[in-house]
Structure 1
Amino acid sequence: MSNINQTPKEPKYITDLISPKIIETWHDGDVIIISANCGRGKSYFIKNPLYDFAKASGKKILMLLHRINTIDQFQAEIERNHKTDEIEIRSYQKTQIEIQYNIPFDWVKYQFIISDEFHYFLDDSSFNTTTDLSLDKIINQKHAVKIFMSATGEDVVDYITDSYPNIKPITYTLTYDYSFIRSLTFYNKEETTEEFLKKAIKNNKKSIFFIQSARKAYSLYQKYKKDCLFCCSSSNSIYYKYVNKEKINSMLKNEKFDELILITTSCLDAGVNIIDRNLHDIVIDIKDVHSLLQCIGRKRIQDETDGLNICIKSLNNMVLGGLEQSNKHQIEMADYLKAGHTTNEYIDKFKRQYDKSYIVFDAVDENNQGVYKKINPLMYRKKTNDLARIKKMKELGEFGYCKYIQNLLGVKRYNLINENYSLEDYLHIHQGQIMYQRTDRKDLIDIMNVRRDGKLRKRLDLLNAALKEESLKFQGEVLNFRIREFSTSKVIDGKQKRYPNAWIIEAFDWTVLTPK
């Protein structure tokens, strides 16, 4: 006899939540929001139940994506499964170019328009000035059902609700579950990322390293390329030439990489699947919170025995304060317009200045009679959302960033690596390391903290004088190091580059003034 009081089983996948009968209830013009974290079958839903419904009813599906790697992976899947008859894939960016330059596109032939990873509209707006064009165009397709899918789209949903008051989105949400996270660790120092990489190689731990800077990602790859695979955006003219496209395509096709370590920028932060039971470690050096969550979602968890150890580069409250001031400065000119001031008043206020953040731009009025100043609404919303998020982090007190991420992931506890090691530890660890240029010396200068008249000093003679003073204080038993300047060179991109003023830390006995 069945138990009538049995608690209903909570839906795990989108197909548990949206049945074919529910699809039948959707009408032209409806806005559907599908909110679920990665690995819950959002793409599967499009490629299977929705595809079956569209094919049976003679309807077409347009799938919009924002990352080249995701487009390539999805395109390969529908070709492999012979579903290109009903599903067409294109990028948001192509759509935006067409709108910007009045290039015609037939939207009417599609009865379902899918905005996959739709957090793109806000998250990419900080550097992409035309995301508002594609969002507005999609929203206004009254003939079609518009489906928006993401694990981190809540800010865009709020924007749609505020900006399009006549639209009442139909929302389907799966409970967010990060119980697969085995450990959550935060660290602060730049060099700790490399220490994690060396440790992963030494211990033969398959890992993904997400690095915000393509330059830094490539630099790490260059040092440890024997064990690593490198990936960055195809739009990066400097570093994309070092990407092994054949291996990346193989990874996208097989949803797995053969190398021990994958070092990538945020070009893989959305849509790409990695299915590998040997992958249990992800290191993330990316500031944006939504992008960070997307990075975690690249590994597809198979079952309760599968899991991840997550290491995240933290932002201390001083860094948060700097980001807060930067964002406030970036919206200052937009705030002036938003307060009701006219274009003429704006020009008078900010004489011969332009908005370096590109939030304020020149627009032509409807009658083509003149130019006026206009605010990019998505870029402005992105900055104000970031400010609100930083405020919440700071309100959590010390380690506010760590606590905020911990709460977001629902993790009971986190680890914070103690990196406040002594100068002696630093010198021992970095003995023999060549510092080719000024940027390589920053950590050394900071940890030595040599000051004259309150100012941080960076000159070699002053740093060595401080090392000598400390060494003699302890009769040469500790801090028996010096910094030596010398000329060297190395091959970069096939060319020999000279460094006439490189530094190196070496053992030195100041008590006898002769090298050990």
Structure 2
Amino acid sequence: MSDYQSWTAGIYLIDAPCGSGKSTFIFKTLYPYAHQNGKRMLVFSNRLALKAQQEHQAFGTDIACMTYQKMEYNVYLNGLWTVQNSVPDLMQMVEQEFDYIILDEAHYLFQDAAFNRRTLTIFRMIEQFRKSKVIIMLSATADLLKEYFSSKITVTYTADADYSYIESVSYYNRKDTLLKILDKIPASEKVVVFGDNKERLQELNRRYSDSAYLSSDNKESSPMFKQIVQTERFECRMLFTTKVLDNGVNLKDKAIKHIFIE
């Protein structure tokens, strides 16, 4: 992406795997150039946890961070005659104040569409601004983005996935298998377990002393969540979490050796 200084209005897709430096490019390379040239940047995210990490990265800059859902709900409210003119028009704010629109985890447009009909708002925003602003889509799973926006994408940048850090991949179909595996993991190695059953995750948290449980229910009050957002690490040995730490949230700790997805 060495040609980023020559970008003009249009859609730019960065299709690269997790951990390949997409966000680093935005915050450490593109932003200084944009700021130096009097341009402003708005970064969208699909989850509050990711937004919190982005805000931490953006501290001390004029980068604005917002979830897709906030924009969608704002447009919905402004469409109701009972509240028109009583809430800020965020779409108008984007038009007037920002030059670069960053769509992080951009596959959200399709991933959440099955249960969130308001994702259409973001499609309309892209269409509205693609001829007047630099729109950058970031994704590690960009196939549907390429297919849908094919003729409208100005340039696509790709990077090959490097999975050399993965030692092995296994699966199990009995719940008690996880317990047997966890019991044998050396004390010096950290574990992350992703699951969709809160009761099971809480049960695991109670079973293992040096552990933490995270979900949308407790993240606001959890010191562990704050620590992950600010340091991209967690101090306990085992972390049991729902998709509150789903897309895009960084964990950078060489002690994390085992990841389970249930």
TM-score of the superposition, structure 2-length normalised?
0.88
* Equivalent residue number for residue 6 of structure 2: 25
The one-letter code of the counterpart of 1:218 is Q
1:34 aligns with 2:24: no
In structure 1, the partner of 2:227 is 250
- The structure whose Rg is larger is 1
Cα distance between partner residues in 1 of 2:145 and 2:157: 15
Which secondary structure state, in structure 1, belongs to the residue aligned with residue 122 of structure 2?
Answer: helix
Query: Using a 3 Å threshold, how does the CA distance of structure 1 residues 99 and 242 change in structure 2: closer, same or farther?
Result: closer
| Equivalence for 2:207 | 223
Other structure's SS at 1:98 match = helix
Q: What residue in structure 1 maps to residue 123 of structure 2?
A: 135
SS in 2 for 1:126: coil
How much has 1:174 moved relative to structure 2?
A: 0.6
Which structure 2 segments of 5+ residues have no match?
79-86
Q: Which residue identity does 1:216 align to in structure 2?
A: R
The residue that corresponds to 1:49 in the other structure is: 29
Q: Which amino acid aligns with 2:7?
A: W
What does residue range 111-122 of structure 1 map to in structure 2 within 5 Å? 111-122=99-110
Which one of 135, 143, 156 corresponds to residue 154 of structure 1? Answer: 143
Structure 1 residue corresponding to 2:94, chosen from 85, 107, 117: 107
Counterpart of 1:78 (choices 58, 61, 64) is 58
1:300-337 per-position Cα deviation (integer Å, ceiling 9, x unaligned): xxxxxxxxxxxxxxxxxxxxxxxxxxxxxxxxxxxxxx
CA shift at 1:61, angstroms? 0.4
Does structure 2 conserve the Cα–Cα contact (< 8 Å) formed by 1:139 and 1:146? Answer: no
Deviations along 1:80-118, one digit per CA (max 9) or x if unpaired, are xx22x2x11011010000122225121222110000011
Do the aligned partners of 1:231 and 1:243 also contact (CA within 8 Å) in 2? Answer: no
Give the alignment's Cα RMSD to 1 decimal: 1.9
| Cα distance, 1:178 vs structure 2 | 1.0
Letter in 2 for 1:59: K
Structure 1 distance, partners of 2:64, 2:227, is: 22
Confirm or deny: 8 A CA contact 1:60 1:111 kept in the other structure.
yes
Aligned to 1:274: 251
Partner of 1:302: none
Higher relative contact order, chain-length normalized (CA < 8 Å, sep 6+): 2
- Kept in 2, the 8 Å contact 1:211–1:263? The answer is yes
Give unmatched runs, 5+ long, in structure 1: 1-17, 234-239, 286-516
- Residues 42 and 242 of structure 1: is their aligned pair in 2 closer, same or farther, counting only changes over 3 Å? closer
Partner residue of 1:171 out of 149, 156, 166: 156
Deviations 1:111-130, CA, capped at 9 Å, x for gaps: 10000011111112233232
1:68 to 24, 45, 48: 48
> In the alignment, what sits opposite 1:454?
none
Q: Is the alpha carbon distance of 1:48 and 1:205 closer, same or farther for their aligned partners in structure 2, counting shifts above 3 Å? A: closer
Distance across 1 between alignment mates of 2:189 and 2:34: 44
CA deviation vs aligned residue, 1:331-389 (integer Å, no higher than 9, x gap): xxxxxxxxxxxxxxxxxxxxxxxxxxxxxxxxxxxxxxxxxxxxxxxxxxxxxxxxxxx
